A and B are shown apart, each in its own frame.
Chain A
Amino acid sequence: MAILEVKNVGKRFGGLQALSDVNLSVAENSVHAIIGPNGAGKSTLLNCLVGKLIPDTGSVMFDGQSVLGRKPYEINQMGISRVFQTPEIFGDLTVMENMLIPCLAKRDGAFQLNGWSRVVGQRDMIDKAEEMLRDMRMIDKRHMPAASMSRGDKRRLEIAMCLAQDPRLLLLDEPTAGMARADTNNTIDLLKQIKDERDITIAIIEHDMHVVFSLAERITVLAQGTPLVEDTPDRIKGHPKVREAYLGESQDAA
């Protein structure tokens, strides 16, 4: 069953047709990768899914409900969490506070004017946050300002923050961009572990083919704002259209 259904989505920026007629269906509890050369419209598509952009045409349904016209925080409440290309965390706050905020947000659901209670009094939430940090092997860093951590740790923290909200769909925007090989492999292992342990759907935008082919169960190739093909990793690898889109004329030269 499809948890995310994108139908005929189009988006135009001035004279540039960034997306046209995009159809995409992400099955529940699968890992779906969206790949494509630079400027193919991957990020635009993602922004349309989370409410940052509103598509000009088409529909985006999540679990039977339309996400169009909803604000990012409302879409998040529906169960979609997003991991950014550059980790978006609360850099001035400690790692522990970073972890507590999504826990509290999930518990409270909405704005709470709890200016009189104490952070240290939220025992159950602190336990939950500590458990998440222990899972991520970051518990010893809990008093550090989040901004002072390494890139790989920031990424792990951001993923942990998203998971603390028990999302049904996790969207990742080039999660290993700019990472060293070792960090990339760690991230792949982490995502595999998440997929095995949880009822979660993962949609991932990625440049790195190594990451895509080690994780994805289905792959959609996007080129010039339109899906070119959608298939399993094995079939995508040898697909002539994909080679053409990625390699262009250099294929003949080689």
Chain B
Amino acid sequence: MFGLEKRDTLLLGVVIVLTLFAPFILNPFPADSGLAQFNAGYPDLMQRFVIFGIFAIGFNILFGLTGYLSFGHAAFLGVGSYSAVWMFKLLSYNVVPALVLAVIMAGLFSALIGYISLRRSGIYFSILTLAFAQMSFNLAYSVLTPITNGETGLQIYTSDPQYLQSVDAPSFPNLFGAAMNSSTTLFFGGWTFTFSVGYYFCAVFLILAFYLAIRIFRSPFGMMLRAVKSNQQRMNYTGLNTRPYTLAAFVISGMYAGLAGGLLAAMDPLAGAERMQWTASGEVVLMTILGGAGTLIGPVLGAGFIKYFENIFAKINDNVLHGWFAFMPDGIEDAMVAIIHPFVGKGWHLTLGLLFMLVVIFLPGGLVEGGQRLGRVFRRRDKNAGSVEADAAQQRSEAAE
């Protein structure tokens, strides 16, 4: 279906179901229960899941397929955000022109940076992209203040022209009138489910982005990219110039990043230079490796994983911990809180770092490899269980005779 192999269609189906039902799936705990703080099914966080999922899918097309490790992809995310906000300022709050310009600008920008950086490979390529991204960050932060509004960040003022903004249109990014921040809430028993326009808008893009990634992975172009990663020398001696392939992959992943940046601005119409900083570039590398570089679903899982930690673990403070361990005697309670304290709240990076180390050491293929191993264990158990049942059935039939 859709020009895909059976397995890929299944994978796409799983992604569609997961994204469309995410408001339910990510809200397993009733709103008034003690575990409600582990719920991730609120629009703001779900939007981050899918937007950074798109970012990571695109990054994986470069890193996962060609092996070129870019440390500057956040620059394209930032370019996308700035472009989108400028469209809001100049034209209207409609997201369509904003996203179109975000993708185009990120594509042009990545073509320029890619053209220069791809003259080198390996660590030199990584350093070049890092240098370009930091230059972009500094440009945005200070030099280009007239365009980026410097450290304040680019935002929309009532004095902005907005030539195409009609009077009755919402004064928030919207898709032909449907504002991104509008939502409906469903109360069901103790549960609260929120469905927001913004989330579903982003989810549609995630599904499209994922579908396009599958097509690229299974295309001759994708095969050539994997060949570049595997043996660049043989590519050269097969009559193929590898530069156009790597540049195309770089630009495609830059455009994915631009789309993600544009969506970020559409969810919250402001853009700051910190979005382009090297830590943001590093984050997408972590997402891709954590989930499984070179796999289709891995980057999405990695993005979800990291954003979940960033938002959920960071919210656990000492009061919450004391609440958890209140049933213990005072001395032990304080000791438990003291032990866990460094790993939550502001220390969530520490937990993430430990998990990242565990994954890289024990599951070099990322979370996807973990899933495959689990799958294999269960399949073996199923087979065993199946044979046991068959034996039992045979014994029963023998006994009946």
CA distance A161 to B106 in the complex (A): 38
Q: Are A111 and B241 in contact (CB under 8 A)?
A: yes
Interface 1/0s, chain A 28-39, versus B by CB < 8 A?
000000000000
Say whether, besides A92-B229, A92-B230, A119 and B244 are in contact (CB < 8 Å).
Answer: no
Closest residue of A by beta carbon distance from B67:
A92
Contacts of A165 in B (CB 8 A): 238-239
CA distance A76 to B245 in the complex (A): 18
Closest residue of B by beta carbon distance from A90:
B230
Contacts of A112 in B (CB 8 A): 220-221
Q: Are B223 and A97 in contact (CB under 8 A)?
A: yes
CA distance A120 to B220 in the complex (A): 9
- How far, in Å, is A52 (CB) from chain B's closest CB? 9
Stretch from A12-20, A99-107, A182-190, A244-252 at the B interface: A99-107
Q: Are A73 and B220 in contact (CB under 8 A)?
A: no
B387 within 8 A of A: no
CA distance A75 to B221 in the complex (A): 22
A228 within 8 A of B: no
* Those of A84-141 within 8 Å (CB) of chain B: 84, 88-93, 97, 100-102, 104-106, 109-120, 122
Q: Are B222 and A115 in contact (CB under 8 A)?
A: yes
Contacts of B3 in A (CB 8 A): 118
Contacts of B221 in A (CB 8 A): 112-115
Contacts of A109 in B (CB 8 A): 239
Interface 1/0s, chain A 195-239, versus B by CB < 8 A?
000000000000000000000000000000000000000000000
Say whether, besides A88-B231, A90-B231, A115-B221, A71 and B241 are in contact (CB < 8 Å).
Answer: yes
* Those of A165-185 within 8 Å (CB) of chain B: 165
B234 within 8 A of A: yes
Q: Are A115 and B237 in contact (CB under 8 A)?
A: no
Say whether, besides A91-B230, A97-B223, A76 and B218 are in contact (CB < 8 Å).
Answer: no
Candidates A91, A93, A161; contact of B238 at CB < 8 Å: A161
Contacts of A119 in B (CB 8 A): 218-220, 222-223
CA distance A185 to B239 in the complex (A): 30
A58 within 8 A of B: no
Contacts of A84 in B (CB 8 A): 233
Contacts of A122 in B (CB 8 A): 220
Candidates B219, B223, B238, B252; contact of A76 at CB < 8 Å: B238
A44 within 8 A of B: no
For chains A and B in complex, what number of residue pairs have CB atoms within 8 angstroms? Answer: 101
Contacts of A50 in B (CB 8 A): 237
* Those of B211-247 within 8 Å (CB) of chain A: 215-216, 218-224, 226-227, 229-231, 233-241, 244-245
Candidates B5, B231, B238; contact of A102 at CB < 8 Å: B238
Q: Are A90 and B236 in contact (CB under 8 A)?
A: no
* Those of A144-171 within 8 Å (CB) of chain B: 161, 165
Say whether, besides A76-B239, A119-B223, A93 and B230 are in contact (CB < 8 Å).
Answer: yes
Closest residue of B by beta carbon distance from A117:
B219
Say whether, besides A115-B222, A118-B3, A89 and B231 are in contact (CB < 8 Å).
Answer: yes
Q: Are B219 and A118 in contact (CB under 8 A)?
A: yes
Closest residue of A by beta carbon distance from B213:
A115
Contacts of A117 in B (CB 8 A): 219-220
A82 within 8 A of B: yes
Contacts of B236 in A (CB 8 A): 71-73, 76
Q: Are B233 and A88 in contact (CB under 8 A)?
A: yes
Contacts of B223 in A (CB 8 A): 93, 97, 100-101, 119
- How far, in Å, is B200 (CB) from chain A's closest CB? 26
Q: Are B227 and A93 in contact (CB under 8 A)?
A: yes
Contacts of A114 in B (CB 8 A): 219-221
B248 within 8 A of A: yes
- How far, in Å, is B80 (CB) from chain A's closest CB? 21
CA distance A113 to B245 in the complex (A): 8
CA distance A91 to B226 in the complex (A): 10
CA distance A109 to B238 in the complex (A): 10
A23 within 8 A of B: no
Q: Are B218 and A118 in contact (CB under 8 A)?
A: yes
CA distance A143 to B303 in the complex (A): 32
Contacts of B220 in A (CB 8 A): 100, 104, 112, 114, 117, 119, 122
Residues of B that sit less than 8 Å from A by CB: 3, 5, 215-216, 218-224, 226-227, 229-231, 233-241, 244-245, 248, 252
Q: Can you give 6 A-B contacts (C-beta < 8 A)?
A: A71-B241, A88-B231, A88-B237, A93-B227, A117-B219, A117-B220
> What are the 5 closest A-B residue pairs judged by CB atoms, nearest first?
A111-B244, A76-B239, A90-B230, A92-B230, A115-B221
Please name 6 further chain A to chain B contacts, defined as beta carbons within 8 Å, in addition to the given A73-B241, A92-B226, A97-B223, sorted by A numbering: A76-B237, A101-B235, A106-B239, A109-B239, A112-B220, A119-B223
